[in-house]
Amino acid sequence: MSSLTFRQKLGRCLSSNFFTRLVTTLILLNAVTLGLETDAAVMESHGLLLRAVDQAILAFFVVEVLLRLYVSRLAFFKSGWNVFDFVIVGISLLPSVGPFAVLRTLRILRVLRLISVVPKMRKVITALFSAIPGMTSVLSVLLVIFYVASVMTTQIFGASSDPAMQQLYGSIGASMFTLFQLMTLEGWSQDIAGPTMALFPASWAFFVSFIIVTSFAVLNLFIGIIVDAMNLMHEEERAASVDKAHSEEMLAIHDVREEIAALRRDLQAARK
C-alpha cells in the first residue's frame, strides 16, 4: 500500500534529475532543428523530418507543462518561471496561419526555456533582475534627461526643413533614437554631429555636453551595481570572519567571569 498519492509521485518524477536532463536534451535538440529549419537546402531534403521532430517535442512540452500544472494546481502560477514556461509553450499552440504567420518565428523562444530549466542560468537571470531596483533612480534621471533633450532637439534642430535634420530629429521618436545612438558613441561625429553642425555651428556644445553627462550617468549606474554586488557578497564573508573572532572572544571572556565567580565562592567558603 503506497503512502504517496499519485500526484505526489508524479511531482517527484517531474522534479527528478533524470527528467530535468531529459527536458534539457529535448530543448537543445529542438534548438538544433529550429536552427536547421532556417536553411532552405536542408528544409527541401529533410523538411518533413524536422517538422515531425518539432511537433513531437512541442507535444512533449505541452504534456509536461499540463502535468506540472496538475501537480501544483494554482500554486503553479506563483512562480515566475512557471508562468514563463506556460506562456512560451502556449505561444507555440496558437494558430500560425494567415495574418498570424509571424507567430511561427516565436517558436524559437522555446529555447529560452533552457534558462528556466538549468539552475545556474536561472540564478544569473535572478541576479540580473535583483540588480534592477537599485538602478531605478539613476535610470529615471537618465530618462528625464533623454526626454528633455529629445523635445529640445526636435524643436530646434527638427525645425529645419533639411532632409538630414528631418531624418535625425523629425519627431520625438526620431530624436530619442538619435540620442540613444549618441549615447552609444556610434558614429556620433560623422552621422550626427557633422550634419547638425553644418546647419547649427554652435550645436557642438550640446553634443559634447550630452556625451559627457550621459557617460557620467551610465558610469554611475555601473558603479552602483558594482558597489551593491560587492556589498552583498563581500559583507557576508567579512561579517562572518569578524563575528567568529568576536564570539570566540566573548566566550573566552565569559569563561574568565565564571572562573572569577568560582574564585569568589572559594573565598566565601574560606571566610566561614
By CB under 8 A, what part of segment 108-147 binds a second copy? 108-109, 111-112, 114-115, 118, 120-121, 123-125, 127-128, 131, 136-138, 140-141, 144, 147
Q: What is the dihedral of CA 137, 141, 147, 148, to 10 degrees?
A: 150
Q: Report the Cα 171 to chain-centroid distance in Å.
A: 31
Is 63 a residue that touches a second copy (CB under 8 A)?
no
CB of 75 to a second copy, least distance (A): 27
Site string (5-44) toward a second copy, x via CB under 8 A? --------------------------x--xx--xx-----
Distances (CA, A) of 5 to 8, 66, 211: 5, 18, 64
- Separation of alpha carbons 77 and 86, rounded Å: 9
Q: Does 220 bind a second copy (CB under 8 A)?
A: yes
**Residue in 54, 65, 158, 196 binding a second copy, rule: CB under 8 A:** 158
Closest CB 216 distance from a second copy, rounded Å: 7
- CB-nearer residue toward a second copy: 7 or 186: 186
**Closest approach of Cβ 114 to a second copy, in Å?**
5
Residues 27/117, Cβ–Cβ less than 8 Å: yes
| Residue the block writes with cell 561579517 | 239
198 binds a second copy (CB under 8 A): no
How many distinct helices (H) and strands (E) make up the chain?
A: 11, 0
